[in-house]
Copies of this chain bind each other. A is one copy, B any other.
Amino acid sequence: MSIAPRGRGSAAPSATPAGTVVPLEDEVSPSLVDFVVDAIVDGVMSGRYAQGQRLIAADLASEYNVSRAPVREALHMLAGEGVVELLANRGARIRRLSAQERIDFLEFTEAICVLGVRLATSRMSDPACRERIVRAFEPIEDAAARRHDRDFVDALYRYHIELNTLSGNQFLEFFYRRPHMRFYTTLLSDMAPGGHWDQYLLNYRLIHDMITSGDAHSAVITFTSHIRWVLRNMRLASAAAAA
């Protein structure tokens, strides 16, 4: 586990029994709130916190060796992001997405990412941009070779971060980089490549080729078709599971 920075207030919360993490002055001092936010997001990504799990402020406080105040502020921040949900008088839970909501989220993401694909593709005449995209594709190949679904979905997420950054649309970049997008995207890894690793990778290679060739229209068509195919698979799997 990491170590909480320490700035102001008075000191670390009083009780510091045997095995707890002692806070130390690091180089810089981001706020404890940021520290806790990052820790919780990491915990969710790594699967340490499960969907729907209740988060007890006091437990988090002692785990990260801070008081409840920054923990509660962090939880409210994450609630604003949509990563946790706050129940009146009953604290915070990691937000849980039903299969349907995850399907809906992917459909939503398609709409967002299409914009990034379209705008970034029209910048491929710049070799430096093209190079960034080419490099961002490598982890996708790597994760697919290892058949590691979590890494695969994460690599796809990072690939689209690159696209959205190159798009030149600041808002798109800002939005896609926020923790909630990473959080929700991670939740897709349960369903994403499913049993279709080969076709999935083939599709993305095609998308990548279209993007790097600078043909925005074809890139959009190819990307959209791929996501619609994934959505069909997810809906089929979901219907099968219900029956």
Contact = CB atoms under 8 A, between A and B. Distances in A.
Interface of A: 30-31, 33, 69, 72-74, 76-82, 88-89, 100-101, 104-105, 107-108, 110-112, 114-115, 169-172, 174-175, 178
Contacts of A76: 33, 73-74, 76-77, 80
Q: How many copies does the complex hold?
A: 2
A31 B88 CA distance: 7
Nearest to A110: B115
Contacts of A73: 72-73, 76
Nearest to A28: B88
Query: Nearest 4 CB-CB pairs, A to B?
Result: A80-B80, A104-B171, A77-B80, A80-B81
A93 to B, nearest CB: 16
A31 B90 CA distance: 11
Contact of A115 (B81, B107, B170): B107
A110 B30 CA distance: 36
Contacts of A33: 76
Contacts of A114: 111
8 contacts: A73-B76, A78-B80, A100-B170, A104-B169, A107-B115, A107-B169, A108-B115, A108-B172
A48 B110 CA distance: 37
Contact of A170 (B31, B80, B104, B111): B104
A119 to B, nearest CB: 8
A110 B77 CA distance: 27
A143 to B, nearest CB: 25
